[in-house]
Structure 1
Amino acid sequence: MKQQTSLLYLLIFSIFSSWSYGQMHDYDYKRELSGISETWHKIVLSDEVFGKASKDLLDLRIYGVKDDGKIIEVPYLLLTTRDQNISKKVTFETLNVSENENGYYFTFKIPTSKPVNHIDLDFAQENFDWRVTLEGSQDQQEWFKIVEDQRILSIRNTQTDFQFTELDFASAKYQYFRLLAKSEQQPDLKNASITQNEDVKGKKRNYQLKRYRVKENIRTQQTEIDVELKMPVRVSEIKLKVSDDFDYYRSMAIKYLTDSVKTEKGWHYNYRIFTRDNLNSLEENTFTFPDVTAQRLKIIIDNQDNQPLNIEEIQVQGPFKEMIARFTEEATYFLTYGNQDASSPYYDIQRFDNKIPEDLSILELGNEQTISKQKSKTASPLFENQSWLWIVMALIIGVLGWFSFRMMKKG
Structure 2
Amino acid sequence: DVAQTGWYRFTLPPAMFPKIKPGFDDLRIHATGNDSTEIPYLVRIAADETTQAEIKAEPFNISRQGTTLFFTVKLNRVEQINLATFRFEQDNYDATVTVEGSNDQKEWFTIQTGRIIAINKTPVNYSYNRISFPNTEYNFLRFAVTNNSALTLSQVSFYQTKTTKGSFSEAGSTLSTRIIDKQSELMVQFDQPVLVSRLSIEAARNQLFYRNVTIDWVYDSIVSEKGTHYQYQPLYSGVISSFKQDTIGFAPQVVTKLRIIIYDQDNPPVQVNRILAWSPQVEILTHLQPGTYEVKYGNPKVFAPHYDLEHFVNELPDPLPELNLSSELKPEQITVPESTPWFKNKLWIWGALAVIVAILGAFTMRMLREP
TM exceeding 0.5: yes
Which blocks of at least 5 consecutive residues in structure 2 are unaligned?
A: 337-371
Match of 1:168 among 125, 129, 132: 132
| Counterpart amino acid of residue 208 in structure 1 | G
Q: Percent identity, please.
A: 27
The answer for the alignment partner of 2:305 in structure 1 is: 345
Report the CA distance between 1:215 and its aligned residue.
0.8
The answer for the alignment partner of 1:25 in structure 2 is: none
Report the CA distance between 1:329 and its aligned residue.
6.2
Give distance in 2, aligned partners of 1:90 and 1:180: 20
Task: Write the deviation string for residues 188-209 of structure 1: whole angstroms up to 9, x where unpaired.
Answer: 3222221222221111121111
Query: Compared with structure 1, are the counterparts of its residues 82 and 357 closer, same or farther at alpha carbon in structure 2 (3 Å cutoff)?
Result: closer
Query: Compared with structure 1, are the counterparts of its residues 181 and 228 closer, same or farther at alpha carbon in structure 2 (3 Å cutoff)?
Result: same
Match of 1:55 among 4, 10, 22: 22
Give distance in 2, aligned partners of 1:173 and 1:373: 70
Alignment of 1:254 onto 2:254: no
| Counterpart amino acid of residue 358 in structure 1 | P
Query: Compared with structure 1, are the counterparts of its residues 173 and 70 closer, same or farther at alpha carbon in structure 2 (3 Å cutoff)?
Result: closer
Query: Compared with structure 1, are the counterparts of its residues 296 and 109 closer, same or farther at alpha carbon in structure 2 (3 Å cutoff)?
Result: same
Report the CA distance between 1:105 and its aligned residue.
1.7
Query: Compared with structure 1, are the counterparts of its residues 98 and 70 closer, same or farther at alpha carbon in structure 2 (3 Å cutoff)?
Result: closer
Query: What secondary structure, in the 3-state scheme, does the structure 2 residue paired with 1:364 have?
Result: coil
| C-alpha contact (below 8 Å) 2:67/2:150 kept by paired residues | no
User: Please, what is the CA RMSD of the aligned residues?
Assistant: 2.5
Match of 1:131 among 91, 96, 105: 96
Larger RCO, structures 1/2 (Cα 8 Å, 6+ apart): 1
| C-alpha contact (below 8 Å) 2:218/2:257 kept by paired residues | yes
The answer for the alignment partner of 2:120 in structure 1 is: 156
Aligned positions, number: 334
| Counterpart amino acid of residue 205 in structure 1 | S
Give distance in 2, aligned partners of 1:339 and 1:178: 61
| C-alpha contact (below 8 Å) 1:93/1:110 kept by paired residues | no
Give distance in 1, aligned partners of 2:228 and 2:91: 46
Give distance in 1, aligned partners of 2:150 and 2:35: 77
The answer for the alignment partner of 2:74 in structure 1 is: 109
Query: Compared with structure 1, are the counterparts of its residues 163 and 352 closer, same or farther at alpha carbon in structure 2 (3 Å cutoff)?
Result: closer
| Counterpart amino acid of residue 86 in structure 1 | T
| Counterpart amino acid of residue 61 in structure 1 | R
| C-alpha contact (below 8 Å) 1:41/1:363 kept by paired residues | no
The answer for the alignment partner of 1:214 in structure 2 is: 177
- Tell which deviates more after alignment, 262-271 or 121-130: 262-271
| Counterpart amino acid of residue 273 in structure 1 | P
| Counterpart amino acid of residue 197 in structure 1 | T
| Counterpart amino acid of residue 307 in structure 2 | Y
The answer for the alignment partner of 1:36 in structure 2 is: 2
The answer for the alignment partner of 1:238 in structure 2 is: 199
- TM-score after normalising by structure 2: 0.81
The answer for the alignment partner of 1:87 in structure 2 is: 52
Report the CA distance between 1:53 and its aligned residue.
1.0
| C-alpha contact (below 8 Å) 2:75/2:138 kept by paired residues | yes
Which runs of structure 2 are paired with 1:12-411 in the superposition (5 Å)?
Answer: 35-39=1-5, 40-66=7-33, 71-101=36-66, 103-148=68-113, 150-209=114-173, 211-217=174-180, 219=181, 221-262=182-223, 266-328=227-289, 330=291, 333-353=293-313, 354-356=315-317, 358-370=319-331
| C-alpha contact (below 8 Å) 1:227/1:298 kept by paired residues | yes
Give distance in 2, aligned partners of 1:153 and 1:286: 19
Report the CA distance between 1:61 and its aligned residue.
0.4
Give distance in 1, aligned partners of 2:76 and 2:317: 40
Give distance in 2, aligned partners of 1:104 and 1:70: 70
Report the CA distance between 1:173 and its aligned residue.
3.3
Task: Write the deviation string for residues 390-410 of structure 1: whole angstroms up to 9, x where unpaired.
Answer: xxxxxxxxxxxxxxxxxxxxx
| Counterpart amino acid of residue 367 in structure 1 | E
Report the CA distance between 1:225 and its aligned residue.
0.7
| C-alpha contact (below 8 Å) 2:82/2:159 kept by paired residues | yes
